[in-house]
Amino acid sequence: MSIDSYLFILICYSSIFISGFFISRIVNFKTATNRFESIDGFRGLLATGVFIHHSIIWKNYLNTNIWELPKNHLAVHLGESSVAFFFMITSFLFTNKLLKSGSQNLVFWRNLLYSRIFRLFPLYFCVVTICIFFALAIDHFILNSTLYVFLAQCLKWYMFNIKGKVIIGQTYNIDFMLAGVVWSLPYEWLFYFTLPIIGTLMLKNKNVISIIVSVLFILVYINHNTIRLTHMISFLGGMIPAIIHYFYPNIKLSNKLYSIAAIFCLIIGLSFDSSSRNYFSKTFLIIAFTIIALGNNLFGFLKINFLKFLGEISYSTYLIHGILLFTTFYFIGFDNIKTLNGATYMFLMFIIAIFLNIICSFTFYLIEKPFINLYYKIISKKPFRIRKTISE
């Protein structure tokens, strides 16, 4: 059986869903009432899709020694379009947050920055540290540069590679271990720091300090990175439902007719060879996302509890699946994985998918969740509120 087949994708999704169902029951998972339920469930599909995308790429890579996109169009979209949807989700949620605040004071931006640091950095730090240690261990802790250069390279990684990606590891670099997924995080930070400029266009009041910081960040970013227009279009696409939701709060696209329309747009968008190179595909995906973001749950599918649970641990899934695939293949032996037939490899992915959910459940509740709670605890302290009033 070919790993580029739809059956392989179905089996991988099944293993994720089955394990997600049981784990969500074990931890008695319940979502917060003030969340966008459809978005939570959608995240679960997207993170799983990226895992399946890379599991197919890995097998083809071991056979051809070329890291390239899968032959199956759907498998391509499970990676490319899933990340595009993640960008849309980020844009939707934070544009909505900005519009609801109605203010651009320094307290709002400070809280936003704190929330992103507490949300993104702890798990990222742990994953990158593990990868650096693993890369050094494989190289017998022999550096190919001075200690100063190595520490500077580590610092760049811990800063999300905003000032350009560097290589750590001689035999296997850590970007390879992570299946290259961290490329999207600098785009996320670019969007966060662009929000003050977006705010000046949408809100009456302006904050000069936040705008200056925003401009400086953008200048540093574009000096060290290439910005692809197609990714920026994804962020723009995510702003559309946020603007509609704010100015027309009574609009709810939750009925069955809109479910059919969303599914139709998804089918059309995913039928093209790529959404990162095809603007027609991206357009249909943006329309589908707009319908989902405005309350459509695709006939109740996106409201399924275990799917929302998978959405809750999606950041862990996104960051960890690459290193889990790499370490599994490394210890089994790349040559041994290479010789596996399609059916055996599919069974291996079934097992890995289950362990991925288990591991990500632990990382969410032991790393992500405590820091999320710590953030809310910090901003809720009375002394903080006093400082907040003074700064306003």
What pLDDT, on a 0 to 100 scale, did the predictor assign at position 381?
72
Of 354, 351, 357, the residue nearest 317 (C-alpha):
357
Look at residue 32 and tell me whether its pLDDT is greater than 80.
Answer: no
Of 244, 246, 371, the residue nearest 316 (C-alpha):
371
C-beta of residue 81 within 8 angstroms of C-beta of residue 337: no
Read off the DSSP letter of residue 140: T
| Share above pLDDT 90 across residues of the chain, in percent, rounded to a whole number | 75
HSE-up of residue 336 (Cα within 13 Å, Cβ side) = 7
Higher pLDDT, 387 or 345: 345
Mapping DSSP onto H, E and C, the string for 86-149 reads: HHHHHHHHHHHHHHHHCCCCHHHHHHHHHHHHHHHHHHHHHHHHHHHHHHHHHCCCCCCCCHHH
C-beta of residue 222 within 8 angstroms of C-beta of residue 135: no
What pLDDT, on a 0 to 100 scale, did the predictor assign at position 163?
86
pLDDT tens sequence across 185-239: 999 999 999 999 998 888 877 788 889 999 999 999 999 988 999 999 999 999 9
Q: Quick one: CA dihedral 266, 269, 272, 276, positive or negative?
A: negative
Q: pTM for this one? A: 0.94
Angle between helices 369-380 and 106-138 (to 10 degrees): 150
Look at residue 390 and tell me whether its pLDDT is greater than 50.
Answer: no
Please tell me the distance from the alpha carbon of residue 286 to that of residue 265, in angstroms, as a whole number. Answer: 9
Q: How sure is the predictor about 33, in pLDDT bands with cuts at 50, 70 and 90?
A: low
Task: Please compute the mean of the pLDDT values over residues 282-309 and round it to a whole number.
Answer: 95
Average pLDDT of the chain to the nearest whole number: 91
Please tell me the distance from the alpha carbon of residue 127 to that of residue 329, in angstroms, as a whole number. Answer: 18
Task: Please compute the mean of the pLDDT values over residues 238-252 and round it to a whole number.
Answer: 92
Of 297, 360, 364, the residue nearest 40 (C-alpha):
297
Task: Please compute the mean of the pLDDT values over residues 76-104 and round it to a whole number.
Answer: 92
| Share above pLDDT 70 across residues of the chain, in percent, rounded to a whole number | 96
Q: Which residues contact 103 (CB under 8 A, 6 or more apart)?
A: 203, 205
